[in-house]
A and B are shown apart, each in its own frame.
Chain A
Amino acid sequence: MSSHRTARVARVLSGALRLWEVSASVEHDSEGGFLIDAPSGTTLRIVPGWLVFRDGQLLASHAGLPGLLRTLRQELAPEAPRGRLIIGSR
């Protein structure tokens, strides 16, 4: 992952945490992934390929950002309001 893209992903993860009102920080790790220290003491590690580890155990793997964000919200902000896209009639 390019440094530009890594920085952008980090901003998206940080922004999502703020949106869910979770006070946790997103840090880069040495292998091009990210570390999130949750307020509960849990550490989530995201490695390239969107694999999510919780305290060293594989929690989920995703094909893209939507699934990753869903897992993070479930882990870090399960009480955050969740919506569902509705397409109405014109």
Chain B
Amino acid sequence: MTAMPISVITGFLGSGKTTLLSRLLRDPALARTAVIVNELGEVGLDHLLVEASDEEIVLLEGGCLCCKVRGDLVRTAAELLARRARGEAEFDRIVVETTGLADPAPILQALMTDREIADALRLESVIATVDCAAGSATLDAHPESVKQVALADRIVLTKTDLADPSALAERLRRLNPAAPQLTALHGAVDPSLLFGGSGYDRPLPDHRPHSESGTSSFCLRRSEPLHAVTLSLFLQLLAEHCGAKLLRLKGLIDVVESPGRPAVIHGVQHVFHPPAFLDAWPDDDRSTRIVVIAQGIEAGWLQDLLEILDDEVQACSIS
């Protein structure tokens, strides 16, 4: 069974999620899209603002996806898939629009792990909209918005006609160096830049450590290949000791047991996708690169941890 791609559009209140979604759905490339809209208010409106033609649009209201109605999301996605299987709905992709206050982490974790839907869905893209006019102040005042940016695969800068985006773009790059940034004026953006591909087969940027709004991003590097067991132990240690402090981790790993075929790892807090192995390296750089976005975790600590673990595994392999 081919897994259905599912994407999440997040972003703070008023940052342009609904405008973006509405514009995207007018593109023929996204004609066969089912949409799940989550709203916080007593009476949902956003789903009425999403101009759609053939799409399936389901409204989840009365609570936020990341807390009150996460189960509803799972049930709704499962029902959509069941209707499609019965021939009652036709779509090739699901897009979830979160509330502006949602923490995307539990939503992504539900999509990745829930028994009812996880095997049938493939997390395709996490898109965060950031308003150029108010984005900087929002990042200062609302930790949720920092987390939305930190967890994104793609960042869409909106309202670029109202303010110069350059300073905000640099700030966002410090927060999440691995996410490409796109601009959307009145929601207009090329869908092929937001959807399609795993999002994890791009070269990962090398960059200096940055700290921004209590969130730091850094890249661990290693020129020697890692043993697969080291990778497993490393991820277990991160999950066990770092917990919610680890916001996002993406890595391209040179694995001893898989020469020439790097492993792609991708995790949100303590939940990880199974490692996927690429057919070849995506660029000339053959070193292991792990981009980490975290709160209160030191880059040097993780680098030392990785080196010690591989030393121990190496020692066991020899003996």
Chain A residues within CB distance 8 Å of chain B:
5, 8-9, 11-12, 15-16, 18-20, 64-66, 69-70, 73, 80-90
Give the complex CA separation of A8 and B304 in angstroms: 6
Binding stretch for chain A, among B20-28, B70-78, B203-211, B238-246: B238-246
Select B269's contact among A65, A83, A89, A90, beta carbons within 8 Å.
A83
Residues in B75-124 with C-beta less than 8 Å from chain A: 109, 112-113, 118-119, 121-122
Question: Can you sample 30 A-B contacts with CB below 8 Å?
Answer: A5-B308, A8-B304, A9-B308, A12-B308, A15-B300, A15-B301, A15-B304, A16-B241, A19-B296, A19-B301, A64-B312, A66-B233, A66-B236, A69-B240, A70-B240, A83-B239, A83-B243, A83-B270, A85-B240, A85-B272, A86-B113, A86-B239, A86-B270, A86-B271, A88-B109, A88-B272, A89-B113, A90-B3, A90-B122, A90-B274
B54 proximal to A (CB < 8 A): no
B contacts with A, residue count (CB < 8 A): 39
Chain A, residue nearest B119 (CB): A89
B236 CB contacts on chain A under 8 angstroms: 66, 85
Contact of A88 with B243 in the complex, beta carbons under 8 Å: no
Contact of B240 with A88 in the complex, beta carbons under 8 Å: no
Contact of A19 with B239 in the complex, beta carbons under 8 Å: no
Give the complex CA separation of A22 and B156 in angstroms: 40
The 8 closest A-B pairs by CB, nearest first: A88-B112, A15-B301, A85-B239, A89-B118, A83-B243, A83-B270, A88-B113, A83-B239
User: Besides A9-B308, A11-B304, 14 other CB < 8 A contacts?
Assistant: A8-B308, A19-B245, A83-B270, A85-B240, A86-B239, A86-B270, A87-B271, A88-B113, A88-B271, A88-B274, A89-B113, A89-B118, A90-B3, A90-B274
Interface centre among B241, B276, B309 (most CB of A within 10 A): B241
Give the complex CA separation of A15 and B301 in angstroms: 6
B56 proximal to A (CB < 8 A): no
Given contacts A65-B312, A69-B237, contact A18 B272 (CB under 8 A): no
Give the complex CA separation of A14 and B88 in angstroms: 58
Contact of A86 with B304 in the complex, beta carbons under 8 Å: no
Contact of B301 with A16 in the complex, beta carbons under 8 Å: yes
B239 CB contacts on chain A under 8 angstroms: 83-86
Contact of B300 with A11 in the complex, beta carbons under 8 Å: yes
Chain A, residue nearest B312 (CB): A64
Contact of B241 with A19 in the complex, beta carbons under 8 Å: yes
B109 CB contacts on chain A under 8 angstroms: 86, 88
B307 proximal to A (CB < 8 A): yes
